[in-house]
Homo-oligomer: A and B are copies of this chain.
Amino acid sequence: MSDIEARLTELTDRLQRVEDELAIIRLIASYGPLVDSGSAAEVGALWTEDGIYDVDELYMGSRADIVAMVNGESHQGLIHKGTAHFLGPAAVTVRGDTAVAVCESVLMVHHKERFVPARAGIHHWELTRTPDGWQTTRRTSRLLDGTPDGHALAHAGGRGEARPDSVTSTPQA
């Protein structure tokens, strides 16, 4: 009997890891549709309460900050014109109750009846298991414009590693 128990336990553990990976894939794949439709509460729910979203030009230090960004004048103006925050598939590395994921993106903006690629970036996600499922503790996004941060995040994310110390944040005063 103990052999069967052991096999059941092993299968359960492996299946859990698979479910974790798919949940994180789903979380990241939902970001674009949610942010492009201005679904502020749903975007916020992808982060923990004190989750960080650190973009080149904007540092958001909590879920409330992220919700405020989606509801803010700048983002609302952009999605009124039409945008696709087009994220690629995430490479996910799960380690127990935390995970790292990385993906690239192109931001398409609708402008004068055309769609223009406004930026291409890299996104390094740190996530944690919560009672409400997987949530983001820190997402760091940088342009892939040849500068060191983008390369460092892509390298670390591709290896399934935490955000490197060389990448620094600039929280607003």
Contact = CB atoms under 8 A, between A and B. Distances in A.
A150 to B, nearest CB: 7
A89 B29 contact: yes
Contacts of A126: none
A83 B87 CA distance: 15
Contact of A154 (B14, B19, B37, B115): B37
A117 B110 contact: no
Contacts of A8: 4, 7-8, 11
Interface residues of A, number: 67
A69 interface: no
Contacts of A54: none
B81 A33 contact: no
A116 B153 CA distance: 22
A84 to B, nearest CB: 4
* Max chain B Cβ within 10 angstroms of own Cβ: one of A25, A33, A87, A151: A33
Interface string A1-25: 0001001100110110011011001
Contacts of A42: 155, 158-159
A96 to B, nearest CB: 17
B90 A29 contact: yes
A144 B83 contact: yes
Given A33-B104, A42-B159, 19 more contacts: A7-B8, A14-B19, A25-B25, A26-B91, A29-B90, A32-B104, A36-B144, A36-B154, A39-B154, A39-B155, A83-B144, A84-B144, A86-B106, A86-B120, A106-B108, A108-B117, A108-B120, A110-B144, A115-B117
